[in-house]
Amino acid sequence: EAGVVQSPRYKIIEKKQPVAFWCNPISGHNTLYWYRQNLGQGPELLIRYENEEAVDDSQLPKDRFSAERLKGVDSTLKIQPAELGDSAVYLCASSNRDGAEQYFGPGTRLTVT
Amino acid sequence: AQSVTQPDIHITVSEGASLELRCNYSYGATPYLFWYVQSPGQGLQLLLKYFSGDTLVQGIKGFEAEFKRSQSSFNLRKPSVHWSDAAEYFCAVRGSSASKIIFGSGTRLSIRP
C-alpha cells in the first residue's frame, strides 16, 4: 500500500512569489492534515480536513495561506505571496476517521530567498 | 493548555549502549501519547503509541515507552542502540476525543561509533 505522497520534495522561491504543495493521502483515509515544521521544532498543525470540509483551520494564516481538498482526496496548500519566514518543511498526514494514528508524507522543504 | 516538553535537545550515546529519551506532557483529559522518529529529509514514522491499558508499550525497531501518569511522563527507551537509530525523535500527545496532535520540539539522537 502506498503511503502519503507529497510533491514537490524541495522548492526554492523568491519572496513575494506564490507556491503550491500537493498531497495525496493513503487510500481510504478521510482525514487529512497539513503541518508546518520549522527548523529545530516539532510539526504544528495548519489545517485539518474531514473529507472535503476544513474542520480546524485556526492556525492557518489566512491572509496568505489557502488550502483545498476537492473531492475529499488530494489536497493543495498554497502560499501567496511567500515571505522569508515561510521557509520550513510542510508535512501532509492522513488518518482514518477516528484519527488515532496519523501517517506522514516525506514533506516539502520550502526555502524562500 | 496542552503541551509536550522534551527537555533534551541533543543526546549522544555510544553504539550498543542503552537509551532513554524524556518526555513530559501537560493535558487535562486522558491523553493519547505517541513517539515518532524522523530521519533526515524524511517524514515522521510512528514508533509506538499509548491509548490505555498496560503502561509499558512496545514499538517497532526495539523501542519501548512507559506511561507514568503520576509524573506526566512518557519516556522512550531502547536497551541497545544501533547506528541507524540516529535521527530526531518527537513525543506527541492528543486527547481521546480530539484529532489534533501536539508535538514536542524533538530530541536529536547521535550515535558514537
Instruction: Please tell me the predicted confidence (pLDDT) of residue B1.
Output: 73
Express each pLDDT in B80-93 by its tens digit.
999 999 999 999 99
Q: Find the angle CA(B99)-CA(A39)-CA(A86) to the nearest 5 degrees.
A: 80
Express each pLDDT in A88-110 by its tens digit.
999 999 998 766 788 999 999 99
> Exposure string (b/e) for B42-80, b if CB count within 10 Å is 16 or more?
ebbbbbbbbeeeeeebebeeebbbbbeeeeebbbbebee
Contact indicator for B57, B2 with CB cutoff of 8 Å: no
- When pLDDT is averaged across residues B49-73 and rounded to a whole number, the result is 94
Parallel, antiparallel, or unpaired: how do β-strands A65-68 and A75-79 relate?
A: antiparallel
| Residue B40 preceded by cis peptide, ω within 30 | no
Question: Is B42 in contact with A100 (Cβ distance < 8 A)?
Answer: no
Q: Does A100 touch chain B (CB under 8 A)?
A: yes
CATH of domain B3-112: 2.60.40.10
Is the pLDDT at A1 greater than 80? The verdict is no
Task: List chain B domain ranges.
Answer: 3-112
Instruction: Please tell me the predicted confidence (pLDDT) of residue A32.
Output: 94
Instruction: Please tell me the predicted confidence (pLDDT) of residue B97.
Output: 66
**Across chain B, what does the average pLDDT equal?**
92
Is the pLDDT at B43 greater than 80? The verdict is yes
Express each pLDDT in A3-54 by its tens digit.
999 999 999 999 999 999 999 999 999 999 999 999 989 999 999 999 999 9
* B43 closest CB neighbour out of A42, A100, A106: A106
Reported as type and span, the H/E element at residue B89 is strand B87-95
Closest CA in chain B for residue A9? B41
Q: Hey, what's the cell of A85? A: 519566514
Question: Is B44 in contact with A43 (Cβ distance < 8 A)?
Answer: yes
Chain B CB contacts of A109 below 8 Å: 41
List of domains in chain A = 5-112 (2.60.40.10)
Q: How far is A17 from chain B (nearest CA, A)?
A: 24
Q: How many CB atoms lie within 10 A of CB A62?
A: 10
Instruction: Please tell me the predicted confidence (pLDDT) of residue A48.
Output: 93
Question: Is A40 in contact with B51 (Cβ distance < 8 A)?
Answer: no
